[in-house]
A and B are shown apart, each in its own frame.
Chain A
Amino acid sequence: MSKATDDLIQSLSAHVPKVAAGAVARRVALGLGLGAIGSVILMLIWFGPRHDIAQAVATPMFWMKLGYAAATGLIAAVLLTRLARPGARPGRLAALTLAPFALVALMAVARMVQAPPEAYRAMLMGHSAMACPWRILVIGLPVLAGAVWAMRGLAPTRLALAGLVAGVAAGGTGAAVYAVACNETSAPFLAIWYTAGIVAVTALGALAGSRLLRWR
């Protein structure tokens, strides 16, 4: 039909390098991985690991914080790989992203029920409630940048959704990194303030997604 289009097809098919299987997953992993390295460096400069880190690694709470954040980030990362393809739907995995939170929330409620009312304030607010979400937001930013870089080279077609999921992945990763520096020890604190931090990065990703993830 069109001469120009025919020429284009000729030139496109003149050079067709082989594409390795798993290229999408590798790129997403690379973006998130480089971002996570950035987050760790940021955390080390800003706070450094908590001073009692040697003892903390023996406590379940340390691993619960790390586990909650990392699991959320990881599930979102898998979901992000899916959304990097045109026409993809999130499917059941989307609900699974909330599973770690549900677990932590249950645990938080269980602790609150057992505790005397005088202890509520300390359990809910810790000593860093107001700072925690903001720190997670900032520490999550390098990961968000990495996710955006990865996605721009792929082909997401639902940009706001992809941005939102990139935000969850970045927020989860950022919170996991921050968990190494944070010495809060209550499950309710984790359920509220870590989640608030992850939600902050998620909101940023969702808002910026339709602009930042646009590809030509």
Chain B
Amino acid sequence: MLAGLAGEAEPYRRLLKELSGILRAYYARRAPPGIDAEDLVQETLIAVHTRRSTYDTGQPFTAWAYAIARYKLIDALRRGRLHLRAPAEEADDMFTPPAAAGGADAAMAARDLERVMAGLPQRTRDLIRATRIEGLSIRETAEKHRMTETAVKVAIHRGLKSLGGAYGGSDVEGD
């Protein structure tokens, strides 16, 4: 990007190329129905280009590009009159390098999980949390919630399945 700001075409072209791949992955998961993810990729590339003067060279490039991507997504939702809630994550979510994993990453993953599960019934959320995060067995969970083991299994299975349906079955925030 620094090369781009300095007017060097070739490194700049490579940057846009690489960015388009990242954006494609970003919008593939988030573009609402009826909006073409590739259109958003292109709009964002144009915005990155025309508004490159707003990039602060002291800041991470990815955070800046991601903020534009998020703005474009919200803008598309608004224009589409789809009153969906815009993703509330912060700029560094997508680009946190694996090397930085640890406390912050775990906290972020936990937060992401809560957000993802927000669409499920309270009971199902509790069951999933108990078995998958706290590490309780099915029987312990069943006792705790005064349910039969079969009912617990079915509820968890349904819950995970509906999450899979909503998020394309892939791992939720991983890259």
Contact = CB atoms under 8 A, between A and B. Distances in A.
Interface string B75-101: 100000000000000010000000000
B134 to A, nearest CB: 34
B137 interface: no
Contact of B63 (A24, A87, A215, A216): A87
A9 B17 contact: yes
Contact of A84 (B17, B54, B57, B64): B54
Given A87-B63, A87-B67, A87-B91, A19 B53 contact: yes
Interface stretch (A10-18, A40-48, A128-136, A178-186): A10-18
Nearest to A82: B56
A36 interface: no
A114 interface: no
Nearest to B11: A13
A86 B90 CA distance: 12
B172 interface: no
A215 B46 CA distance: 12
Residue from A15, A17, A216 having most chain B Cβ neighbours under 10 A? A216
B53 A24 contact: yes
B13 A13 contact: yes
Given A24-B54, A86-B67, A155 B38 contact: no
B5 interface: yes
Interface residues of A, number: 29
A155 B46 contact: no
A12 B53 CA distance: 15
A23 B52 CA distance: 10
Contacts of B16: 9, 12-13
Contacts of B54: 24, 84-86, 154-155
B56 A157 contact: no
Contact of A5 (B9, B20, B66, B68): B20
A16 B53 contact: no
Contacts of A8: 42, 45-46
A119 interface: no
B53 to A, nearest CB: 4
Interface of B: 4-10, 12-13, 16-17, 20-21, 24, 38, 41-43, 45-47, 49, 51-57, 63-64, 66-68, 70-71, 75, 91
